[in-house]
Structure 1
Amino acid sequence: MLSTLPQAHATFLNRIRDAVASDVRFRALLIGGSYVHGGLDEHSDLDFDIVVEDNCYADVLSTRKDFAEALPGFLNAFTGEHVGEPRLLICLYGPPLLHIDLKFSLASDLDQQIERRAVLFARDPAEIEKRIEAAAVAWPNRPSEWFEARA
């Protein structure tokens, strides 16, 4: 899939994969959204899930913006409480402008997913892929009022 990505997306993907691989606090880098479902184009966001070592989770959550800022082209970021996902950091990078979602999870969080993500990097690929394959996958169906209150 990497060969079919728009250049800006491919460049960012390589940078974040390198950053995650070089940080011992992280176990894996996964990607979902249009990357796995299709339809990704130059206007698409990239939806990453960074799997964090259990003993580093509190530290990573408190410094996640520092991690995002260290990636080239960082413009701004905010957390995802407004969409019910406090582990999420919604980021903008550029130029060109890229919307990047960084969710920070534990390996145990992979047991319940909203989609089956692709593994871009893992220290133990067999363990991560086994968890992904065995996971219960269900979209959190919320009433329209829940979304309207956040719009």
Structure 2
Amino acid sequence: MSFFAQDEVAMEQFGAALFGALPQGVVFLQGDLGMGKTTLSRGVLRAAGHLGSVKSPTYTLVEPYELSSGIIYHFDLYRLLDPEELEFLGIRDYFTEETLCLVEWPDKGEGLLPSADLVVTIGLAGAGREIQWQANTAKGSAAAERLARELRVV
């Protein structure tokens, strides 16, 4: 399934719809630098009730958001040199049934990250972005269907 985001506002709207479809789980965000992974994450966080700024946790690797709607962890693994570094972060403690984990550059943590419920891939499409998503779990399949209905994607 795919969705065309013509601008930053549409990217954030997709993020809000994503949060509505999957408020807890694991989402891998894939795409080259500058494709809008953090903008999409901002849409998720705003839909969850976060009012402050949202920056990519490129240097800290993870940014926690404790909200009334639940806990969201935003990971950016771009600068990770070795997946074993995630062990020092206590990576397994972040991925629980009660949290939503958004993971940018998941390939950098291969072997130590749990399976994603949804994999979201962002690419260039004319002047905008094409967002595709694929489910990897039963929870992800239900979320993918809700997301398609919400965005009116056939």
Q: Same fold (TM over 0.5)?
A: no
With normalisation by structure 2, the TM-score equals 0.33
Higher Cα Rg: structure 1 or 2? 1
Between 1 and 2, higher relative CO (CA 8 Å, sep ≥ 6) is seen in 2
Greater percentage in helix: 1
With normalisation by structure 1, the TM-score equals 0.33
